[in-house]
Amino acid sequence: MTSDTQIYKDRLYIIKYYLKNKTSVTKLCKQVNRSRTWFYKWFNRYKLYGSEGLHNIIRELPAMPNQTPVDIEMKILDFIEEYPSYGPVRISNELKKSGIIVKPSAVYNVLKRHYLNRRKLRLEHIRIKYNVVKDKSDLERAKELSKTRSLITKHPGDVIGMDVFYVGCLKSIGRIYQYTATDTYSSFSWTKLYTDKGALAACDFMMHVRNNSLDIPVKSVLTDNGKEFTTHHKSKKHSFERLLNELNIKHRLTKVRHPWTNGSVERFQRTILEEFYQVTFRKKIYITLDELNDNLNKYIDHYNFKRTHQGKRTNGRVPAELYLLNNNSAA
């Protein structure tokens, strides 16, 4: 016998007992450990509908005419599987490029219904789905990169912000450092991973940027005062600075303890932390540096050529569009 059937029989027995014995309602309720409110609720149901009225009423869910269609809801969920760090506004903008029109508020409601309305929840969902063991030695230990302000430039290539940050230590690879460069005008960016962050890596990365600048001349490079970029001995010339001289590129240094001077690259590093590393380390365990570099390059390609940006200058465009737009004026 199901619990619902037993509850129905108990209600019927109590009401029939009352009708047969004409006992006091208060006394009866004490005997069966029920409230007077409970009794009159079911007694009135019995008078109106008979014994059928003593069954639990299953209310139909109200129609939701404004609810997102199932097919679009599934596309939203499929999209966050690939880009779990994106918020409702960016998801709405990206889906619009595929011809799917859905408001940010509707995206948020879909995420909320699936308990995915917070970025941390979406990232944890990805980690569990791909069955990757959580390891705090990954990028979770990386330094928090604060929101910073950017330089004002007029053309692509005027100022390339460059920096290096510690990605983490993977058991099969060791320490990993990411060199990062960002065009402060367009947000077009370059990255490369190394197991060392010294001057040789800095020089190699500078050549990587120059060789992949899409024929946009690099006029100046802005870095901090780290040992990989400069030396404090006036009598010696740093190898990175010598390379810049050979390439006819001006070297600019940020003011000590003023990281916001290089705000574009700092902000990009925070973006790549949230959108790439915190996602990819939850999907896969990397064995080689080349493997991680390959996936990083795919993300950078997406960032530069497909991912829309919400800044004042980009205004919904992708960095490559702005970077190449002024090719003639930059030359």
CATH of the domain at 291: 3.30.420.10
The model's pLDDT over 165-199, given as tens digits with 9 standing for 90+, comes to 889 888 889 999 999 999 988 899 999 999 998 99
48 lies in the same domain as 120:
no
Does one domain contain both 205 and 299?
Answer: yes
Confidence (pLDDT) at 144: 42
Residues of the domain holding 177? 139-330
What tens digit of pLDDT does each residue of 11-32 get?
888 988 888 888 888 888 888 8
* Count of domains observed in the chain: 3
Q: Is 162 exposed, middle or buried (0-12, 13-18, 19+ CB in 10 A)?
A: buried
Q: Answer yes or no: do 198 and 281 share one domain.
A: yes
Say whether both 94 and 162 belong to one domain: no
- Name the burial class of residue 235, with classes exposed (0-12), middle (13-18) and buried (19+) by CB atoms within 10 angstroms of its CB: exposed
**Segment 54-94, tens digit of pLDDT:** 888 655 545 556 678 878 888 898 888 888 888 899 899 88
The rounded mean pLDDT for the chain is 83
On whether both 296 and 226 belong to a single domain, the answer is yes
In a domain, 185, yes or no: yes
Neighbours of 320 (CB within 10 A): 18
Burial track 280-290 (b if 16+ CB lie within 10 A, e otherwise): bbbeeebeebe
Helical ranges in 36-69 per DSSP H? 36-49
Summarize pLDDT for 239-266 with one digit per residue, the tens.
999 999 999 999 998 876 665 567 788 8
At residue 329 the predicted structure's pLDDT band, cuts being 50, 70 and 90, is: very low
Provide CB contacts within 8 A for 215, sequence distance 6+.
327
Pair 48, 77 in one domain: no
